[in-house]
Structure 1
Amino acid sequence: MFDSVLVANRGEIAVRVVRALRRLGIRSVAVYSDPDADARHVREADAAVRIGPASARESYLSIERIVDAAVSSGAQAVHPGYGFLAENAEFARACEKAGLVFIGPSPDAIEAMGDKIRAKLTVRAAGVPVVPGRTEPGMSDDALVDAAAEIGFPVLLKPSAGGGGKGMRLVHEESALRDAIESARREARGSFGDDTLLIERFVTNPRHVEIQVLADAHGGAVHLGERECSLQRRHQKIIEEAPSPLLDPETRAAMGRAAVDAAKSVGYLGAGTVEFIVDGASGDYFFMEMNTRLQVEHPVTELVTGVDLVEWQLRVACGEPLDFTEVPLAGHAVEARIYAEDPARGFLPTGGEVLALHEPDDVRVDSALQVGLRVGSDYDPMLAKVIAHGRTREEALRKLHAALGRTVLLGVTTNIPFLRALLSDVDVRAGRLDTGLVERKLDELVTHDVPDEVLAAAALERQLALAGRGTDPWDLTGGWRIGEHAWTTWRVDVAGRDTTEVRVRGDEVAVGQAEPVRLRAVVRDGELVVGTRRYAMARAGRVLWLGAEGRSWALTETEPLAAAGAGKAGAAGPVTSPMPGTVLVVRAAVGDEVVANQALFVVEAMKMEHTVVAPVDGVLAEVNVQAGQQVALDQTLAVVVPHQE
């Protein structure tokens, strides 16, 4: 076994690999960019090496810097995690050239399966069924348009060089195809350095089922059952489970054999995943791709098989043979991915500083979170994974839902409430899954309301804070009088809701025009207790964060309503950035005539593009940004003056 291994990644996967190395008595070496200097994976590793600035291209994607870090730190091997360079054949070759063991398959296997076009041709020759489509290398835009006409709409555009939903576009009609090709190429080029696309028939009622495989250097290969990954947004998984509620034992065995055949067709070594698209109506399955690395969702397989996949990656890389030929499945496991994103705004990335944190201790949590962590737009927005295991699927779902409700994360807007709603959905509970479920039910799954009791809690917290500081009663905004309390009025703002006035007098609270109710509030052990409800609490300047039952709210003390300048805002249509990120494309100039929903800008954050459109018909009075510029959430990019009626 190795004495020292460098982990060429960051975030929760780096923490997970570091812990596996510690358990096996192997020295771990972390790498970090400047923003990650105090990150959790750096703190938990035995040693750490700086590899560059925030830009991934100059740090986590720099082959030269990571190889130099491994050599200089005395590491014998490199574990790539997933993402970044995990499926980069050039990186694997550079490791071998430097005398380092790359903990993964051979460069040739990475190339064979990393190029989706070549992969389909390879596995088809091995007898594995593939999705109908066109997979010729180097297809031009015109060739893709012609292929779509042959296949028939809807079609799916996919980058040949990578996965994870990056650069993937579902196109329903010919009029939208060329714009989709342009956008897919640009995103693929930015994510993988290669804008080659392939095109496939879009399988209706599709389910995403993948098979975990392990292969050694002695000809041994085995599958470890399947994972159901159909619950997705933007073609990226958010909840995964093992086993799939769809497969019967016969289908599981057949898909397992096909997965092993696919791995053997390229002489695979180590842990890998063969992904299939399954027609939910007919049960027919087709090879989609093989991920030549560990998967984000690997914990659910570990919990139902008892096999530590990272440990076996290490053992196989050391030349050990697999000591099992089949693996029984025990119980059921479900994983939820926690992202820094806002489902109510189309899952756009968010950011901020983690002010308060509590992770449940009765389920598995793979996490990079810590208080003080600054979540920016440089890297993928996934923060942690919560994984529950039960004797039955129903028990696992129930345990995961409860664990997410006990999770506290203040300072960053996340998808935790959405995940709990999704886990409670009647079709999810029944196992009636497909990759379009989230999109169809999004409005039902997203919570827009801010309960009045949360607004009341914010006002009571301010009242308690003033009283605790011994504030001069003459400074209280509601005044006071001898013998009785007077009303104090607070103005509280929550994103997505108009500013609300909350009046407080002693233990009486009135939100807006509602009748006063009596609520006793106390601060105890860092929590705000209002009536019978306990809120996790954290403050950043004028913003108070409250959290309860998996939800969180950022409440801001605002100036009087008259100072908001609503008249000016109503006179024009501001065009704002939907997320913090970088402006990639500017299609606007001052004086341009525009129509509502006309594309004006493309903003990119965390490898995701978003097109910003004109809100109304009119003339561009202002254009405040240029390509390459960093922008903040809700920053005004331009102003459209509507045409006069």
Structure 2
Amino acid sequence: MATIDAGSRPFERVLVANRGEIAVRVIRTLRRLGIRSIAVFSDADADAPHVRLADEAVRIGPAPAAQSYLDPDRIIAAARDTGAQAVHPGYGFLSEHAGFAEACRRAGIVFIGPGDEALAVMGDKIRAKRHVAASGVPVVPGVADPALDDDGLLAAGLQVGFPLLVKPSAGGGGKGMQVVRDAGELADAIPAARRIARTSFGDDTLLLERLIERPRHIEVQVLADAHGSVIHLGERECSLQRRHQKVVEEAPSPLLDEATRERIGRAACDAARSVAYLGAGTVEFLVSDAAPEEFFFIEMNTRLQVEHPVTELVTGVDLVEQQLRIAAGEPLPLQQEDVRLVGHAVEARVYAEAPERGFLPSTGEVLAWGAPTGDGVRVDAGIRGGQHVTADYDPMLAKVIALGADRTEALERLDAALAGTVVLGVDTNIAFVRRLIAEPAVQAGSLDTTLIDRLPAPEAVPASPGQLAAAASAVLGDGVATTADPSAGPRAWADAAGWRIGAHRTPSVLLAPRDAPDAVTAVTAVTAGTLPTPTTDGATVRIAADGTIWVHAEGSTTAFVQHDRRELASARRAAAVRGGVAANPELRAPMPGTVTAVFVADGDHVDEGAPVIAIEAMKMEHRITATTAGIVRLAASVGDLVSRDQPVARIEPAVDTTDAASASLASQEEHEQEHTNAV
């Protein structure tokens, strides 16, 4: 990657005010440059990879981010105590916090980021849109008035027209954004977006934008030094998103031609100059798929982006190094004409979430972690085996990036790398991403921000015979497991080694995928003379404390549960008895989190599908709705911490007052008739 002088060090000691994969990534560049790295950590991260990798580490508080990574005073104190000359904020947390940047300067510490004007203007989406529009840059029509309350926003939104995008003015990452298509949806979305914005960013100001159907999200990486130089490093295509959260990014965009690339790059540089930008930043645009020459400013991110590795791979520029050197007052080593885009890079974000369960966040202990290798493969990760993934932080675990000579090779390498990525103990989106990049539209480069939403709901990948065998071997511990294929007909039992008429019964186990507990398979073990180890023949197996058997084999991961024969038979009989019940009346938390809203009162009548409770975890809000009509009985209130599958409410059958009155009247008439007959 490009450097000015391999022997020079812009700083001697730098504190990294972040965690996870971005902290690890920054520390690696610090170590390469010979700069002493200082990590900070919460109680939840005491033994995290970034803490182990750093030269020094300082505890800054308990697990909640508000009491640790989001507390400017604790970060400043850690920097002072360790003699740090500069602070690198990474992304998220305090990276775009103008008050934190100012506090660093007051303490005599260099903030590795832009100046006050850029943070103030571009950190507020409303102000940023007004600022850029005043400079002649096209912006999306909408409402950007921080003085409007909920009713005012609703009225203004009706004037703009539908569909609309409701989005927090502060923050980023798509958190709190909601698409609404009519007045009723807008009335519900505004208070929900305010709650998320207030919780995530401490600022509940909202703005509304006209939703451009099937747009492409393209962003431009810029670098600006203190000597007046501003350049761009090409664009990144970030159109593969789910609920405004990026999933796969690539560089360069398959949409833009050279002329459009030059125009959009120049516009990004102009936006940076307008606020006297300093350091690395990203200017984001919406580009029409039908008319690529048209683009609209969305916002400017005044920090390093999650997807920066794809730019680094195609340009050969270490963006973290350039941030450090710019912050130290050095000039950029490149002119615009020096920038060359070579090859194609694609990045996939690995999240701790369950796509088959509505992409709900997943928490738990990482039982095994294995990073892939291969030509052109890069992995930025901040996890290790034995680490606990909690609901305190963002669910992203790692980024897997692949560089190829062209886009086809990059996608092929990425798929192979994802197949070789091992994460056991928590659910991930790896299988979903592999299916996504195999989609014909993605392969063809025909992308837009709604593509994922139009795909069928994700389904679990069926367990393979190899995965079943590996799981059974780990449970039985006395041989190699095999499964009998029912499609083999009469020969199935003969081919299942170990089974013989009149012979000693071979040990067997009943296994089913955890998320498909009814898909039970009987697996037998055949003595093989040697016991299988946790990792053999390409399979990685771990058994969790709750008995779940996690297996990675043949490029995919499945979690299995073991069934007891008697309990299984009993459960099936009970299920048959309940066969006439339309829906489970008990509402359970689909994920661990905090109850942020209760939409009904105990004893209220609700219709099927009505929202009952909202639970937030990992900065995402999930609404639990009534499964049937009836009377709601609440078992949780706002502020409660709930665990996965914990009952939070129950829907009881409503008593029809008309039928009850009729029954009462009929009973009275019957009694009177009996009395008359008696007389």
For residue 28 of structure 1, give the secondary structure of its aligned residue in structure 2: strand
TM-score w.r.t. length of structure 2? 0.87
Structure 1 residue 558: deviation in Å? 3.0
TM-score w.r.t. length of structure 1? 0.92
Among all aligned residue pairs of Structure 1 and Structure 2, give the percentage whose two residues are the same amino acid.
Answer: 56
Structure 1 residue 120: deviation in Å? 1.1
1:269 alignment partner AA:
L
- Counterparts of 1:290-301 in structure 2 under 5 Å? 290-301=300-311
Cα 1:491–1:90 change in 2 (3 A) is: same
CA distance in 2, matches of 1:306, 1:505: 53
More displaced stretch, 453-462 vs 304-313: 453-462
CA distance in 2, matches of 1:259, 1:336: 25
Q: 2:568 maps to what in 1?
A: 561
Report if aligned partners of 1:11, 1:40 keep a CA contact under 8 Å in 2.
yes
The match for 1:492 among 502, 506, 511 is 511
Report if aligned partners of 2:19, 2:50 keep a CA contact under 8 Å in 1.
yes
The match for 2:208 among 169, 189, 199 is 199
- Counterparts of 1:27-426 in structure 2 under 5 Å? 27-283=36-292, 284-326=294-336, 327-362=339-374, 363-426=377-440
Cα 1:499–1:302 change in 2 (3 A) is: same
| Cα distance per residue 1:324-368 (max 9 Å; x no partner) | 112111010000000000111221100111111211122110000
**Residue 535 of structure 2 corresponds to residue 527 of structure 1:** yes
Report if aligned partners of 2:353, 2:362 keep a CA contact under 8 Å in 1.
yes
| Cα distance per residue 1:472-493 (max 9 Å; x no partner) | xxxxxxx999961326553334
CA distance in 2, matches of 1:141, 1:521: 71
For residue 497 of structure 1, give the secondary structure of its aligned residue in structure 2: coil
CA distance in 1, matches of 2:191, 2:530: 56
CA distance in 1, matches of 2:290, 2:148: 32
Cα 1:423–1:387 change in 2 (3 A) is: same
CA distance in 1, matches of 2:12, 2:603: 65
| Cα distance per residue 1:274-326 (max 9 Å; x no partner) | 00001111221000000000000000000000010000000000000112112
Report if aligned partners of 2:351, 2:398 keep a CA contact under 8 Å in 1.
yes
- Counterparts of 1:606-625 in structure 2 under 5 Å? 606-620=618-632, 622-625=633-636
Report if aligned partners of 2:598, 2:613 keep a CA contact under 8 Å in 1.
yes
**Residue 642 of structure 2 corresponds to residue 626 of structure 1:** no
- Counterparts of 1:454-533 in structure 2 under 5 Å? 454-455=467-468, 457-465=470-478, 484-486=503-505, 488=507, 490-504=509-523, 507=526, 523-527=531-535
Q: 1:539 maps to what in 2?
A: 543
Q: How many residues matched?
A: 618
CA distance in 1, matches of 2:555, 2:364: 18
Cα 1:313–1:498 change in 2 (3 A) is: same
CA distance in 2, matches of 1:113, 1:505: 62
Report if aligned partners of 2:467, 2:552 keep a CA contact under 8 Å in 1.
no
2:543 alignment partner AA:
R
Cα 1:522–1:349 change in 2 (3 A) is: farther
**Residue 436 of structure 2 corresponds to residue 436 of structure 1:** no
| Cα distance per residue 1:184-237 (max 9 Å; x no partner) | 111111111111111111111200000000000011000000000000011010
Report if aligned partners of 2:509, 2:524 keep a CA contact under 8 Å in 1.
no
Report if aligned partners of 1:87, 1:114 keep a CA contact under 8 Å in 2.
yes
CA distance in 1, matches of 2:437, 2:269: 32
Q: 1:511 maps to what in 2?
A: none
Report if aligned partners of 1:90, 1:107 keep a CA contact under 8 Å in 2.
no
CA distance in 2, matches of 1:581, 1:165: 19
CA distance in 2, matches of 1:58, 1:198: 28
Cα 1:78–1:504 change in 2 (3 A) is: closer
1:582 alignment partner AA:
T
1:494 alignment partner AA:
P
2:299 alignment partner AA:
E
Cα 1:461–1:49 change in 2 (3 A) is: closer
For residue 293 of structure 1, give the secondary structure of its aligned residue in structure 2: coil
Q: Which has the higher strand share?
A: 1
CA distance in 2, matches of 1:123, 1:504: 64
Q: 1:471 maps to what in 2?
A: none
More displaced stretch, 146-155 vs 232-241: 146-155
Structure 1 residue 126: deviation in Å? 2.0
Cα 1:491–1:179 change in 2 (3 A) is: same
Report if aligned partners of 2:507, 2:525 keep a CA contact under 8 Å in 1.
no
Cα 1:449–1:95 change in 2 (3 A) is: same
CA distance in 2, matches of 1:30, 1:265: 34
| Cα distance per residue 1:109-154 (max 9 Å; x no partner) | 1011011111111112222211111222322222222222222110
For residue 613 of structure 2, give the secondary structure of its aligned residue in structure 1: strand
For residue 498 of structure 1, give the secondary structure of its aligned residue in structure 2: coil
The match for 1:604 among 616, 621, 645 is 616
Report if aligned partners of 2:612, 2:625 keep a CA contact under 8 Å in 1.
yes
Cα 1:486–1:18 change in 2 (3 A) is: same
Cα 1:207–1:500 change in 2 (3 A) is: closer
1:603 alignment partner AA:
I
Which structure 2 residue ranges, 5 or more long, are not aligned? 1-9, 482-497, 657-679
CA distance in 1, matches of 2:356, 2:82: 45
The match for 1:638 among 645, 649, 652 is 649
More displaced stretch, 135-144 vs 388-397: 135-144
Structure 1 residue 98: deviation in Å? 0.6
For residue 228 of structure 1, give the secondary structure of its aligned residue in structure 2: strand
